[in-house]
Amino acid sequence: MFETFEFINEDFPWFFATLAAIFGALTGSFLNVCIYRIPAGRSIIFPGSTCACGRPIPFYHNIPIFTWLILRGKASCCGAPFSIRYPAIELLTAVLFLWVWLIYSPLVALLGMFFVSFLICATFIDLDHMIIPDRFSIGGMVISVILSFIFPALHGVDGLPIVSNIQSGVSSIVGALVGAGLVYWIAVLGEIVFRKPAMGEGDVKFVGFVGAFCGWQGAVFSMFGGALVGSVILLPCLLLGRLFGAGGKARASGTEAAEAASAEGARGAEGDEAEEVQFGAQVPFGPMLAAAALIYFLGFDAYVDAYFAEFASYFFMP
């Protein structure tokens, strides 16, 4: 079986790469369901996909990305428009799954797809509701530690089976502790300096998840890289908001439309259950942390790890 896989992968590399992209689009469709239903406390399995008008969606209108294009962004049953965000999430997941497959070994790539999925869900839920559910932070942290013990390749550990498993698991635990601890103390210091909460507990646990999967180097980069990403993105947004008089408010939508499992799937009228978030008063840091974690995992880890190794040798070598 493995010989057949290696033969196909070597002679027809596009075959599994295409499957990875398709799997990513299908996963992105499911993530749309999770992003809407999990904050609402609803099952992500039952009921099946329904339109905003309440009608069930047939399977042939549940084709990720293409259904939105074919139907021109409108539901076939009632003609209600649905947001482009949902096929965009499907396309984003497909591209990231393909990227992970192309740069990692098949085993690490499959594990990386789990990591990417959790980051995407946490990002859009945080954008919509200013929260990161524990299942994506604490749950992701626990799962990452378990996967690290089972698959040492996740942390690049080679050697004897039991020894490498332990080393990989310890690396994951250290990464979780360093990540969560770093953010916690930064939050404490920020609260002392600014006399108000600087970061939420969800961010603390979320960086712990990143550290458990990527190691302590990934956690540190996620924290400081996230701050840089936030500066690059947030400052222009604040400036534009002031220039064009955004009315002081940004809306985070969470509608029945998002409950669809795909392009047409329940992607109807946005804003029905929208939450108003004071523009500039509260900024979700989770998406910035997730963006930095993706940058690290999708190829920048070699440079970051080399920098930390050189830094350690400079200070600790005799």
Task: Specify the pLDDT at position 7.
Answer: 62
pLDDT of residue 26: 95
Asked if residue 185 is part of any domain, the answer here is yes
Helix (H, G, I), strand (E, B) or coil at 249: strand
Distance, CA of 276 to CA of 242 (rounded, Å):
18
Each residue of 235-263: pLDDT tens digit?
A: 676 667 667 654 444 333 333 343 443 43
Residue 269: what pLDDT? 33
Q: Is 165 exposed, middle or buried (0-12, 13-18, 19+ CB in 10 A)?
A: middle
- What is the pLDDT at residue 315? 62
What pLDDT was estimated at residue 244? 66
Domain count, the chain: 1
pLDDT of residue 176: 96
**Residues 6+ positions from 44 with CB-CB distance below 8 Å:** 30, 33, 34, 37, 38
40 part of a folded domain? yes
Asked whether residue 200 is domain-assigned, the answer is yes
Question: Looking at the domain assignment, is residue 169 inside a domain?
Answer: yes
Q: Would you state the pLDDT for residue 274?
A: 37
- What does the DSSP assignment read for 207-229? HHHHHHHH-HHHHHHHHHHHHHH
pLDDT computed for residue 135 by the predictor: 94
pLDDT for position 3: 63
Q: How many residues does the chain have?
A: 318
Q: Which domain holds residue 134?
A: 12-316
Helical residues (DSSP H) of the chain, grouped into ranges: 2-11, 13-40, 66-70, 85-103, 106-129, 134-150, 161-194, 201-214, 216-243, 286-295, 301-316
Instruction: Provide the token pair at 152.
Output: 């040492």
pLDDT at 282: 65
Please indicate, yes or no, if residue 263 is contained in any of the structural domains.
yes
| Tens-digit pLDDT profile for residues 163-204 | 999 999 999 999 999 999 988 888 888 778 777 766 778 899
Model confidence, pTM = 0.82
CA atoms within 13 A on the CB side of 174: 11
What residue ranges of the chain have pLDDT lower than 70?
1-7, 52, 197-198, 234-235, 237-239, 241-242, 244-282, 315-318
In a domain, 6, yes or no: no
Please list the residues that pair with 278 across neighbouring strands: 249
Nearest-5° Cα angle at 313, 312 to 318: 125
Q: Tell me if 172 is assigned to some domain.
A: yes
Instruction: Provide the pLDDT for residue 318.
Output: 55
CB 290 within 8 A of CB 117: no
